[in-house]
Amino acid sequence: MYKFLSIVGAAALAITVSMAAATPSSADSASDAVGAGLVGGVLGFMAGSALSDGPRHHRVYVDDGYDDGSDYDTRAHIRACFDAYHSYDLRSDTYLGYDGYSHQCDL
């Protein structure tokens, strides 16, 4: 609501300044019109910026049926590694060997 009121106020001010500059005066009318145009442009820019909510969320297309061509079954791999190595670590996909070092599970 506050944003709407500030936009309406800025628009009313821009219209008032533009109308005041559009009336003929005895002074140099060309410089008055340029000044009113600059003020109106700045206020219009401010109103447009206030209306925008910032970056919008973009829609992303996700294809659940994507097949990368490999027949590699991740669940079968994890199951085989757990069965073969009691020290298997799922997060790193490694196991602790008899030599004391971590090795990649290649099953």
| The pLDDT value given to residue 88 | 94
Identify whether residues 7 and 46 lie together within a single domain.
yes
Query: 15 pLDDT exceeds 70?
Result: yes
Identify whether residues 46 and 79 lie together within a single domain.
no
Give, for 21, the enclosing helix (H) or strand (E): helix 2-22
> What is the domain count for the chain?
2
Per-residue pLDDT reduced to its tens digit, 59-80: 766 666 666 656 567 888 999 9
Residue 27 domain-assigned (yes or no): yes
More confident residue, 84 or 25: 84
Name the band, by pLDDT with cuts 50, 70 and 90, for residue 47.
confident
Identify whether residues 6 and 47 lie together within a single domain.
yes
- Residues whose CB is less than 8 angstroms from the CB of residue 44 and which lie 6 or more positions away in sequence, other chains included: 14
CA distance 28 to 24: 9
Domain region containing 37: 2-51
Q: Residues 2, 52, 3, CA angle at the centre, nearest 5°?
A: 5
